[in-house]
């Protein structure tokens, strides 16, 4: 007894307190959690900084899960001590015993250790916090971590003109408010992925996308658009696989006319003091019943498509959260600025032009389109079957000798077509050819996509003037 007392005395009240912190199971858990998390985080940080692995679970662990462990551990240790406070009284520790006496060498050592460890922990947390924040904003995170879900968006993004623009530049943009909204909706999305409850395909248009004026206009703005842009379109037909039919158009990009100072042309819709609002009757915004415009001089006009019935659940009031009206911005035309899907005809025609598909093989355009558009249950099934199907169609057409002669060409074409398929179709996400249409132009106007949603000569104002479709409004022949 006497000896024990002596020991207690030797340890001092601080000694009991510190020992008490981690002598309970909870305290030990806290110490283990803290040490293991901190060590692994440190290792993960080194691996990431030196780029030693591409494994996406390393940054997820190091930057997102382990910091949680570290903080939990750091909370558990004092909590354990607090839960054992009865012991303090047993050892007779009173508040006034707990003084830090810097002339006591044990106290000095403790204070130094405590300071060093605290500084180390906080430095690690700051670096990890920063890396984690950068990481959770990177296209790699957005596109790869949810790899099954976002694979299509990431794949098509990588071949677009915005491949070097981070996802967050368009999906979050500047400012704290949208940052917080994005992280909250990000959490919801992670939950949806974990519970497998997300929609396939992910619906477009994105309902709560940040207004494009806040995002796109960081890099592009209507004042800077001007003049014309010449574009060449190249088509083949099943009857003519060898000589391309070329169409050149000069698009009236518009913007501010440097001579008159007026806004004109295609970007008139988003220019200063012009407001175009519309009422669509479907979620995809393909069917537009009414269009209202405000011109720079303040005059207004309303165009109505008379034969379009507006369903009762569309809120026609112009204001309020669930108003059916939308102010036109960049996305109403550039709905595919970076998630750009191709059309099968365009891929086949490009193959013929670039000779990846040998145009001399009779019937190859038609057969290519057939195998490209065929239904495959999975991407693996397409990998296994596409070239064989092409060869089979050609054999039916020409017999085995012809096919043997062109064997190498047919295999090359098959590989090219498979590539085109894999860049555009994800059966597991229900993304087929044409699922995500583009509003630039009118190539798919019969399905409701593009400029002719409004420019159809059928939306008329009270005086009978319509939103025009004359062919030289938007483009002419380049001179
Ligand atoms: C240049 C701007 C831009 C960038 C960069 C961008 N997006 Fe998008 N994204 C959009 C727009 C605009 C839409 C809305 C399309 C619509 O409303 O039809 C969209 C839609 C989506 C959708 C909904 C599905 C779809 O295709 O419409 C997902 C998912 C998505 N983006 C993920 C990403 C990911 C992941 C990245 C980075 C790898 C990324 N986005 C980068 C502009 C961008
Ligand atoms: C962070 C800067 C940035 C943001 C934000 C951005 N873009 Fe771009 N955009 C670029 C760059 C860079 C290019 C490529 C320019 C080039 O190739 O000359 C580009 C090109 C384009 C082009 C021309 C594409 C082509 O085929 O030539 C269009 C159209 C476009 N952007 C629209 C948009 C729209 C719409 C948004 C908003 C959803 C947007 N951009 C957001 C930087 C940006
Ligand atoms: C009325 C439809 C429409 C709206 C609204 C619209 N654009 Fe465009 N934009 C076009 C078309 C059409 C083209 C030319 C098509 C092409 O290049 O394929 C174009 C071209 C561009 C280009 C390429 C210009 C060049 O000289 O190559 C950029 C950049 C661009 N738009 C950005 C924007 C931004 C940013 C907004 C929103 C502030 C916007 N656009 C709003 C239809 C529109
Ligand atoms: C939501 C409806 C809507 C859509 C979609 C739309 N427009 Fe328009 N556009 C209008 C209206 C309304 C006018 C003005 C008509 C008037 O002034 O009488 C207009 C005017 C124009 C003008 C003439 C501008 C001027 O005064 O110089 C051009 C060019 C044009 N649009 C091109 C396009 C192109 C290209 C697209 C597709 C990429 C497109 N529009 C999509 C509604 C639309
Ligand atoms: C409201 C604007 C608008 C009007 C009106 C318009 N076009 Fe176009 N057209 C476009 C745009 C924008 C593109 C470019 C599409 C793209 O970049 O993919 C285009 C592309 C084209 C192309 C090339 C596409 C291809 O695949 O070959 C042809 C041909 C064409 N238009 C013909 C016409 C004809 C004919 C008319 C008159 C009936 C007409 N356009 C009226 C906006 C318009």
Structure confidence by residue, pLDDT tens digits, 63-80: 878 888 998 998 988 888
Do 276 and 407 share a domain, yes or no? no
Which residue's CA is minimally distant from atom 38 of ligand 5?
Answer: 471
Q: Is residue 439 included in any domain, yes or no?
A: no
Per-residue model confidence as pLDDT tens digits over 91-147: 777 666 777 788 888 888 888 998 998 898 888 888 888 888 788 777 777 776 666
Q: Is residue 444 included in any domain, yes or no?
A: no
The CB of 216 under 6 Å from ligand 2? The reply is yes
Residue 259 predicted with pLDDT over 50? yes
Q: Is residue 433 included in any domain, yes or no?
A: no
CB 225 within 8 A of CB 267: yes
Helix, strand, coil % over all residues of the chain, rounded to 5: 50, 10, 40
CB 57 within 8 A of CB 99: no
Q: Is residue 78 included in any domain, yes or no?
A: yes
The CB of 269 under 6 Å from ligand 3? The reply is yes
Do 119 and 25 share a domain, yes or no? yes
Last residue of a domain, one of 118, 136, 154: 136
The CB of 410 under 6 Å from ligand 2? The reply is no
Q: Is residue 384 included in any domain, yes or no?
A: yes
Do 43 and 144 share a domain, yes or no? no
- For residue 209, the ligand closest to its alpha carbon is 1
Phi (first) and psi of residue 352, to 5 degrees: -65, -40
Q: Which atom of ligand 1 is nearest to the CA of 169?
A: 5
Do 321 and 290 share a domain, yes or no? yes
Which residue's CA is minimally distant from atom 2 of ligand 1?
Answer: 170
Q: What is the pLDDT of residue 190?
A: 67
Greater confidence (314 vs 61) lies with 314
- CA 161 – CA 298 distance, rounded (Å): 36
Please name the residue ranges forming H helices in 54-163: 57-60, 66-83, 85-90, 105-136, 139-140, 147-158
Per-residue model confidence as pLDDT tens digits over 280-303: 999 999 999 999 999 989 999 999
Per-residue model confidence as pLDDT tens digits over 423-479: 999 999 999 999 999 999 999 999 999 999 999 999 999 999 999 999 999 999 988
Do 348 and 302 share a domain, yes or no? no
Do 275 and 242 share a domain, yes or no? yes
The preferred substitution site among 220, 332, 346 for testing ligand 2, maximizing ligand atoms within 8 Å of CB, is: 220
Greater confidence (254 vs 395) lies with 395
Which residue's CA is minimally distant from atom 6 of ligand 4?
Answer: 451
Q: Residue 82: how many CA atoms within 13 Å on its side-chain side?
A: 5
Do 309 and 456 share a domain, yes or no? yes
- The full DSSP string for 85-106 is HHHHHHTT--GGG----TTSHH
Give CA separation, 463 vs 231, 289, 291, 295, 467, in Å.
36, 17, 15, 17, 12
Domain of 176, in residue numbers: 139-198
Do 107 and 194 share a domain, yes or no? no
- CA 115 – CA 122 distance, rounded (Å): 11
Q: What is the pLDDT of residue 412?
A: 98
Give CA separation, 253 vs 222, 263, 436, 476, in Å.
10, 11, 24, 11
Average pLDDT, the chain: 88
Lowest average pLDDT, out of 148-152, 165-169, 293-297, 311-315, goes to 148-152
The CB of 250 under 6 Å from ligand 5? The reply is no
Matching residue, tokens 């309970």: 24
Q: What is the pLDDT of residue 4?
A: 42
The preferred substitution site among 205, 291, 330, 443 for testing ligand 3, maximizing ligand atoms within 8 Å of CB, is: 330
Do 369 and 469 share a domain, yes or no? no
Q: Which atom of ligand 4 is nearest to the CA of 459?
A: 12
Q: What is the pLDDT of residue 6?
A: 45
- For residue 169, the ligand closest to its alpha carbon is 2
The CB of 356 under 6 Å from ligand 5? The reply is no
Do 327 and 460 share a domain, yes or no? yes
Q: What percentage of the chain has pLDDT greater than the value 70?
A: 94
Which residue's CA is minimally distant from atom 34 of ligand 3?
Answer: 330
> Could you tell me the distance, in angstroms and rounded to a whole number, from the CA of residue 319 to the centre of ligand 1?
27
Residue 9 predicted with pLDDT over 60? no
Q: Is residue 212 included in any domain, yes or no?
A: no
Q: What is the pLDDT of residue 248?
A: 96
The CB of 454 under 6 Å from ligand 5? The reply is no
> Could you tell me the distance, in angstroms and rounded to a whole number, from the CA of residue 328 to the centre of ligand 1?
18
> Could you tell me the distance, in angstroms and rounded to a whole number, from the CA of residue 234 to the centre of ligand 3?
21
Tokens representing 21 are 């912190």
Q: What is the pLDDT of residue 5?
A: 43
Last residue of a domain, one of 114, 136, 158: 136
> Could you tell me the distance, in angstroms and rounded to a whole number, from the CA of residue 217 to the centre of ligand 2?
10
Looking at the 3D structure of the chain, how many domains does it have? Answer: 4
* Sheet with 475-476, side-by-side order of all strands: 228-235, 245-252, 475-476
129: Cβ contacts below 8 Å, ≥ 6 apart: 67
pTM equals 0.86
The CB of 169 under 6 Å from ligand 2? The reply is yes
Which residue's CA is minimally distant from atom 28 of ligand 1?
Answer: 153
Do 147 and 193 share a domain, yes or no? yes
């Amino acid at each position: 007894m006497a000896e024990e007392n002596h020991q207690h005395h030797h340890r001092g009240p601080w000694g009991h307190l510190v020992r008490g912190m981690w002598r309970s199971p909870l305290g030990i858990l806290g110490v283990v959690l803290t040490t293991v998390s901190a060590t692994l985080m440190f290792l993960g940080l080194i691996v990431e900084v030196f780029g030693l692995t591409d494994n996406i679970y390393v940054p997820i662990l190091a930057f997102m899960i382990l910091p949680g462990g570290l903080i939990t551990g750091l909370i558990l240790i004092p909590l354990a001590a607090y839960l054992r406070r009865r012991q303090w009284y047993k050892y007779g520790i009173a508040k006034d015993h707990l003084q830090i006496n810097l002339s006591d060498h044990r106290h000095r050592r403790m204070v130094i250790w405590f300071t060093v460890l605290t500084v180390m922990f906080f430095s690690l947390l700051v670096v990890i916090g920063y890396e984690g924040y950068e990481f959770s904003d990177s296209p790699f995170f957005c596109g790869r971590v949810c790899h099954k879900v976002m694979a299509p968006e990431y794949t098509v993004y990588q071949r677009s003109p915005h491949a070097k623009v981070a996802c967050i530049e368009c999906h979050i943009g500047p400012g704290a408010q949208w940052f917080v909204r994005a992280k909250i909706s990000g959490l919801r999305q992670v939950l949806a992925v974990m519970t497998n409850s997300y929609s396939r395909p992910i619906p477009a248009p994105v309902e709560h996308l940040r207004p494009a004026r806040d995002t796109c206009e960081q890099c592009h703005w209507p004042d800077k658009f001007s003049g014309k842009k010449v574009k060449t379109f190249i088509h083949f037909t099943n009857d003519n696989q060898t000589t391309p039919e070329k169409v050149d158009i000069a698009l009236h990009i518009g913007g501010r006319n440097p001579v008159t100072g007026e806004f004109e042309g295609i970007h008139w819709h988003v220019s200063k003091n012009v407001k175009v609002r519309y009422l669509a009757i479907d979620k995809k915004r393909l069917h537009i019943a009414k269009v209202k415009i405000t011109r720079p001089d303040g005059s207004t006009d309303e165009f109505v498509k008379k034969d379009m019935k507006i369903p009762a659940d569309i809120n026609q009031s112009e204001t309020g959260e669930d108003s059916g009206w939308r102010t036109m911005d960049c996305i109403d035309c550039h709905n595919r600025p970076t998630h750009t899907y191709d059309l099968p005809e365009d891929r086949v025609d490009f193959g013929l032009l670039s000779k990846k598909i040998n145009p001399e093989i009779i019937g190859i355009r038609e057969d290519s389109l057939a195998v490209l558009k065929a239904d495959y249950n999975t991407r693996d099934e397409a990998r296994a079957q596409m070239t064989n199907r092409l060869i089979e169609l050609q054999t039916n057409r020409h017999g085995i000798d012809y096919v043997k002669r062109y064997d190498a060409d047919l295999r090359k074409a098959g590989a090219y077509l498979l590539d085109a398929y894999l860049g555009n179709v994800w059966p597991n996400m229900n993304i087929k050819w044409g699922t995500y249409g583009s509003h630039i132009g009118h190539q798919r106007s019969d399905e409701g996509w593009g400029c002719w949603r409004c420019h159809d000569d059928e939306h008329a104002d009270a005086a009978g003037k319509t939103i025009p479709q004359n062919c030289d409004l938007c483009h002419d022949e380049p001179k």
